[in-house]
Structure formats: structure tokens, C-alpha cells
Chain A
Amino acid sequence: MVALGVLWSACSYQPFRQGEILYANFCATCHGENGEGFRDLYPPLANSDYFRENQLETACIIHYGMDKELVVNGKTYQQAMLAVTQLNDVEICNVINLLSYSWHSGMKTVTIDEVRAQLESCSDWELLD
């Protein structure tokens, strides 16, 4: 019984608890509880080729928002996303790692230093809020 319990918690263990909570609060209403997206309006964040190829740039999108066209898994998305100004760099890092860990198998996680350097590199982005 105990062994089963341990086994169960091992399977459902998710190391990015803060990312999970932040995702539910700031991302899920548009992008879906399971990252599935919504029609052609909000792109998916699960099994997304765009995320896989632009993992760190996602930090800039969260921090500044985005209103340019975006192709995800072959579909074009144009809906503007406002900056999620409530999240700091550590929190953004945790959200990216949640997305990487939960919905993009085999992806490595990112470090806070990488996220900070990335945010520095896009400091000329226009803030959309």
C-alpha cells in the first residue's frame, strides 16, 4: 500500500509547482488548462514547435507581450497578447520550465541566468499593456 502510494506520487511528481500555479492563474484562460490553445485564436503551448524552437524567447513574450504574426504547428496566429507584467524573472523562468517539462518531452530546462540574459537581449521590445 505504502509502496503504491510512493509509486503514485513518483509518477505525478512535478518539480515546477510555482510554474504550475502561475500557469493556471495567468495563462490557462487563453491557452487552455492543458496548453491546448483555442481554435485559431490562441496558440497551443503544449507540443508546440514554436515553443520548442524559441524556448528562451518565450520569456520576452511573457514580459513584453506580442502582437506580431506567429506560426505554430503550421497554423498562423495573429491575436495580440498583452504583457504579463505581474510576473518577475524568477516566475517567468518557472513558467517556461513548467511548459518545457510538462508538455515538451526531452526538452532541457532553463536557468534563471539564461532567462535574465534573454530579457536583457529583448529590452528594446515595446511593452504591450
Chain B
Amino acid sequence: MQYRLFFSLGALALMMFSACGDPSPAAADQALPILGNRDIVDGDTVYHQIPDFSFIAQDSNVVNNATFADKLYIVDFFFTTCPSICPTVTKQMLRLYERFEGEARVKLLAHTIDIRHDSVPVLKRYAEKIHVSSDKWHFVTGDEEKIYDMADDYFIAAQKDPDAPGGFDHSGRIILVDQNRYVRSFCEGTDPDDVTRFMDDVQKLLDEQ
């Protein structure tokens, strides 16, 4: 009895530990879950899906859902003059870029939330200065309201805030979307260890294809 109690306490502690230590809801041997609210419609489960969008990227090209057909894509929101978390998050996005550079099924999508400063030429220069390919990593701008709406759809907080450094308040979250427009994983782009765990999720989803 004492042994069993000890054992279950141990198991409970382990569960609690793994609950805290691993923000991803998926255990190592399970498929990644589909994240977000779900509805039951006519007996079928309907998952949160990324809606249609269309933005302009650094080569003045249109980037929309079709750009990511049959791809996994990694999303963040930033602005080029952001003095607070963006440089850290961009450096982590760069880690992801380098890890999956040779993997054509993975793309990256960074939205500016400062459309006033971050014109297409500014985004192009930014991408060039960090030496990344515009086929792989799209830096986009577009309709301001649509960008903020999309942030909601990716579960990323983004808003204007005159009191925040640089004038915008936003989270450094990085999101993984699959080829069916479902959100499958996320991490905090300010936390390199969390990004490492996220990388494994990207690989896992690739392996499932």
C-alpha cells in the first residue's frame, strides 16, 4: 500500500512536472494536436482554421494561402524598428530558417505590425541584411486591420500602444501551421529552449507527411 501510494505520488509528480516543463500539449509519441477552439457541426468536429489572406512581400509579390499550399509554415509578427523583443525573436526565426533551409516543405511568414514605416523596400532591405531568401522567408505588409485580424487567428497578441517601446505591443510567439490551415504548435520566440522544442514539433509534422 505504502509502495503504491508512493508510486502514484511519483506518477502524479511526474505528470505535474511534465505539464509544467513542456508547454506543448503533445507527448513525445503522440501526433501534434490541432490547436484552438473547436465546434461540433452536424456531428462533425470543426477545428479552428486560418482564413483567407493576401499580403505583399519583400519582392512586391503577393503572398496568400496559395503560397503555402502543401507546405508547413512558421509565423510571427514584428516590426523592423522594434527595440524590445523583435530582435530576439528574429534571431530565433533565423535558427528555424537555418534548420529547415534545405526542406522545401517549410516556409516562414513574418508580418510587420508597423505598416507606416515598414514599406516593401524596408522589408526587402531587412531580409537582405540578414541574408535570407525571399522564396523561403516572406516578410509581408498589407492592410493594417487585416494584419491585426490575422494575429488573432494565429493566437498572437498584437496592438498599437503609444506607451510600448516603438509604439506597438505584441507577443513574441511563433506559430506552426499545417497544409490544412490548422495551427499545430507554438512557442515563445524569446525563449531559445522553447524554440528548440518547437523545432522538434516541426520535424515531427514533416515526418507525418
Contacts and interface: CB of A to CB of B under 8 A. Distances in A.
B87 to A, nearest CB: 5
A82 interface: yes
Contacts of A109: none
Nearest to B130: A39
Interface residues of B, number: 18
A96 B81 CA distance: 22
Contacts of B85: 29
B125 interface: yes
Contact residues on A (Cβ < 8 Å of other chain), bracket: 10 to 19
B87 A78 contact: no
Contacts of B23: none
Interface string A41-84: 11000000000000000000000000000000000011111101
A79 B87 contact: no
A79 B90 CA distance: 14
Contacts of B125: 78-79
B122 to A, nearest CB: 8
B114 to A, nearest CB: 11
A90 interface: no
A42 B94 CA distance: 15
A127 interface: no
B116 to A, nearest CB: 12
A129 B81 CA distance: 9
A40 B117 CA distance: 19
Nearest to A65: B81
